[in-house]
Amino acid sequence: MVNAIDVLIADHRMIRKILGNFHRTQPRLNLISKSLVRAVKSHAWFEDQVFIPAFENERLLEKKFVQEIVDEHKDIEVLMASFLGTRSEDKDLWEAKAIQFKALMESHFLKEEDALFPICSRTATPQKLTILVEEMRRRQPEVLKIL
């Protein structure tokens, strides 16, 4: 049975892959930028709107920790816009923004993979994690509106 954590981890894998192909001289930079924005925004939306609210009252999760993850989604969006708005001809600035954006993404993913997801996985029933996948599928049209 598919579970919500596996779906979110598969997203991380896909986003890491896109970032791995993200080089300044890459000829398809525009196309890759669009895929990156779609993947990052929709992933964060599902976490904010579906996954995290389902664990709101979980006593094993520190509210401050969860809030930090939610806040980072906003930071990621701001840094991503700043990075993608930088002209690739401006080599040093582009590279510097790329390094910072990639570092923020990686540290964010690790917080989820090393702490948030294992705690949620320990406390949720397999049924709950499957129902969350169904909810994500059902709410797919809503996410399209924010892209």
One residue of 46, 50, 112, 120 binding Fe ion per CB under 5 A: 112
Cβ 69 to Fe ion shortest distance, Å: 6
Is residue 39 within the footprint of Fe ion (CB under 5 A)? Answer: no
Asked if 120 and 5 touch (Cβ cutoff 8 Å), the reply is yes
Size of the site for Fe ion (CB under 5 A): 2
Q: Which is nearer to Fe ion, 30 or 107 (CB)?
A: 107
Is residue 22 within the footprint of Fe ion (CB under 5 A)? Answer: no
Cβ 30 to Fe ion shortest distance, Å: 25
Q: Which is nearer to Fe ion, 81 or 93 (CB)?
A: 81
Tokens representing 101 are: 């954006």
Is residue 76 within the footprint of Fe ion (CB under 5 A)? Answer: no
One residue of 45, 46, 47, 97 binding Fe ion per CB under 5 A: 47
Taking CA atoms, 62 is separated from 15, 57, 68, in Å, by 26, 10, 10
Instruction: Tell me the C-alpha distance between 122 and 131, whole Å.
Output: 16
Taking each continuous run of H as one helix and of E as one strand, the counts in the chain are 7, 0
Asked if 143 and 42 touch (Cβ cutoff 8 Å), the reply is yes
Cβ 27 to Fe ion shortest distance, Å: 29
Question: Which residue from 72, 38, 78 is spatially nearest to 52, judged by alpha carbons?
Answer: 72
Tokens representing 83 are: 């990075």
Give contact residues for Fe ion (rule: CB under 5 A): 47, 112
